[in-house]
Amino acid sequence: MLQPDFCELLVTEVENFQGWVNETNFRIMRPNTMNRYGCVLDDFGLETMLDKLMEDFICPISKVFFPEVGGSTLDTHHGFVVEYGIDRDVELGFHVDDSEVTLNVCLGKQFSGGDLFFRGVRCDKHVNSETQSEEIFDYPHVPGHAILHRGRHRHGARATTSGRRVNLLLWCRSSVFRELKKYQKDFSNWCGECKREKKERQRQSIAATKLEILKRDGQTAS
């Protein structure tokens, strides 16, 4: 589905839609609060295509790799195209997505820079916590290539230093997971900081137990 011909066709459709918007001065919804350039794909009839993309491709993969964040119950999506370049958005700051699972596809065109940088998965409470060295990961965009990641995986995009970069984003959401999350406080099965805090509590508990045993043994010996 993500063959070069498809990517080129989608970019052409987006350009045609944006040309019509400019000619008619029609107001459209921007992709999100962070990107100023791009469009929502539902606005020009691509919702059915995105439904199929999520149901046939993303859901089977997410059930295997992201079950702990609702990957097995994805039921809605928000799909959009964003543009980066010297006369567009240049970079994207550190953030998390409003999704359980995100598909990010590089559609083209010729560009330099724009690498994604990832800095660990976090719950709402720990979204601004420190990054551990093992959580640092960079991903270079290649036209026609896609990356699938948890929406709560903190990330950003470095500056596109030349050319024009166009990406398709599909934010996949699970209403079941979002409802269940309201009643949870511990997310150590997917939040890196929750997991570290839990391990530290366990370490302290074990250390306290060992100390108590040593005290008892000392009292018995005396």
Q: Give the global pTM.
A: 0.88
pLDDT of residue 1: 64
Distance CA 30, CA 28 (A): 6
Residue 119, domain extent = 4-220
pLDDT at 33: 76
Q: What one-character DSSP code corresponds to residue 130?
A: P
Quote the number of domains for the chain.
1
Beta bridge partners of 166: 83, 108
pLDDT at 119: 97
Instruction: Report the CATH number at residue 77.
Output: 2.60.120.10
H helices within the chain, ranges in order? 4-24, 47-53, 59-65, 175-181, 192-221
Distances (CA, A) of 90 to 34, 81, 103, 157, 203: 12, 15, 20, 9, 45
Tokens found for residue 155? 């990330």
Q: How far is CA 180 from CA 171, 176, 185, in A?
A: 19, 6, 11
Tens place of pLDDT per residue across the chain (222 aa): 677 788 888 888 888 887 887 888 877 777 887 887 888 888 778 899 899 999 999 999 999 999 999 999 999 999 999 999 888 888 888 999 999 999 999 998 889 999 999 999 999 999 999 999 999 999 999 988 999 999 999 999 999 999 999 999 999 999 999 999 999 989 999 999 999 999 999 999 999 998 888 888 777 666
Give the pLDDT confidence score for residue 34 in this predicted structure.
Answer: 80
